[in-house]
Amino acid sequence: MNWIILVLTSGAFFGIANILDNYLTNHHFKRIPTLIFYSSLLNLLFTPLILLIQMPTWPPLYSWPILIGLAITNLLFLYPYYRALQLDDTSTVVALFSLGKIFVPIVAFLFLDETLTKTQYVGFIIIVIASSLLTIKDIRKMQFNKSYIYMILCCLAITAEITLYKISYQYLNWATAFIISGFIATLLVLPILLIKKHRKDITSNYKKFKQKIHIFITLELAAFIAMALYTYSLGLAPLTLIETVGSFSVFFPLFYAILLHRWIPHFKEQLNLKQIAYKSTIFLIMILAGYLTLKG
């Protein structure tokens, strides 16, 4: 059960990255390609950390399509994710992230031949819905808009990526899949410089990038650790079970919002008795559903 600790720790770091993503996207970098460019370059700084855990090997020729697919899906989810953050409230985006996990058991069954018991599937669905409801401040305000379309695309890209990771582990070790796909993703980002309007925005925002370098480094380190832990856990348990535990990660952004509300006012959470009772009830439901899912 060490994978459970890995997934939950990953969620804690993803929560940090989510808050900083929101801050940079809505307050400093309006053009998404510029944010993706700088983030991708910084991400390479932390690659040597993987070597402390596991050494990569040169991948065989037949595995390169999978590695390229990993790189592409890693980039594909970024634009709709950042765009959704610009269009909608952060809590709504997080809720849609949770609801998007509903694709996972279908993909796991079709491409990975993973099956669970009926009880486990029921538990998974309950957790997905509950974690989504947890982050919705007012369900009456949840109206269909462009952010929904962007988050559906984002969730499909993430589901494809984690499925490809599971497939890659049949041929490669974790370090090889993680490092090589990361390098390929960075190479795929560089052609952005060939597009004049993006190149101009990247160069004009370089000064701002240097001013916010400490935030970028914190963000990318958190995202790097989160992704490393999560992808490593993919080799230890069925995909649907991992996503079940991962749904509990929705509590971390809420916790950080309460902890940091003095410094980041727009993340302040409501702490009245009604909200505490509501969130506590959902948390208990998720714990019971999690028990059903893990125990089968």
Task: Compute the average pLDDT of residues 13-24.
Answer: 81
Is residue 19 within 8 A of residue 253, CB to CB? The reply is: yes
Distance in angstroms (rounded) separating the CA atoms of residues 147 and 161: 21
Least confident of 69-73, 171-175, 181-185, 257-261: 257-261
In sequence order, what are the residues at sequence separation of 6 or more whose Cβ sits closer than 8 angstroms to the Cβ of residue 141?
none
Instruction: Count how many Cα atoms sit within 13 Å of the Cα of residue 230 in the half-sphere of its side chain.
Output: 26
Q: Please compute Rg for the chain using Cα positions.
A: 19
Residue whose C-alpha is closest to residue 45's, from 272, 220, 296? 220
Task: Compute the average pLDDT of residues 41-52.
Answer: 87
Residue 187's SS3 state is helix
Task: Compute the average pLDDT of residues 160-168.
Answer: 93
Model confidence band, residue 1 (pLDDT cutoffs 50, 70, 90): low
Report the number of distinct structural domains present in the chain.
1
Instruction: Return the DSSP state at 137.
Output: S
Longest dimension (CA), the chain: 59
Residue 171's SS3 state is coil
CA 76, chain centre distance (Å):
12
| Per-residue tokens: 281 | 């009830």
Model confidence band, residue 284 (pLDDT cutoffs 50, 70, 90): confident
Instruction: Return the DSSP state at 268.
Output: P
pLDDT value of position 165: 94
Model confidence band, residue 226 (pLDDT cutoffs 50, 70, 90): very high
- The residue type at 207: K
Distance in angstroms (rounded) separating the CA atoms of residues 6 and 20: 22
pTM of the model as a whole: 0.82
The residue range of the domain holding 15 is 2-295
In sequence order, what are the residues at sequence separation of 6 or more whose Cβ sits closer than 8 angstroms to the Cβ of residue 213?
none
pLDDT value of position 273: 64
In sequence order, what are the residues at sequence separation of 6 or more whose Cβ sits closer than 8 angstroms to the Cβ of residue 17?
219, 222, 223, 226
Give the model confidence (pLDDT) of 100-152 as tens digits. Answer: 677 788 888 888 888 777 777 787 777 777 766 665 555 555 555 566 777 77
Cβ atoms within 10 Å of 238's Cβ, excluding its own:
18
Model confidence band, residue 268 (pLDDT cutoffs 50, 70, 90): very low
Distance in angstroms (rounded) separating the CA atoms of residues 11 and 75: 20
